[in-house]
Structure 1
């Protein structure tokens, strides 16, 4: 983790933001004492999502897949409706005047 004084941070903010975009975390110091941390929002969102998944898995509410089974996902035939469809039923009701 890189460090930057408060004065340097003010003077080089654009450069520091570019470093954060590259994945760097920067600790901002005021007279040698840490006062802030400059991190990527994307990194925080990713770690928060991973934390949620881990918590749900521990609680038993989530079970991760062991293998990706997408081969037959779109090849499974759609089930056929038994009897007349809803459109046919609606048209019959209109014709009979109900």
Structure 2
């Protein structure tokens, strides 16, 4: 793996990006301490991003309005469906009610 200082990275970013496009991975160093890595995206990461962007463009998904508070989300009161109640019907009912 190639190494580059922050100064070298700032001065040669376009060239380093070209190297990454050709498959290279580059470790970025700040005073000889690794702080970041430039590497090619794999096809799963790209396809996942493309899928999300495509859904947003088609109006089937929206970008987040704010950052998720994970602690609050996990601590919220859980809702359980009674036995025999269809989760699909419950979801459709929630959508009709605007929840």
What is the TM-score with the length of structure 2 in the denominator? 0.43
What is the TM-score with the length of structure 1 in the denominator? 0.43
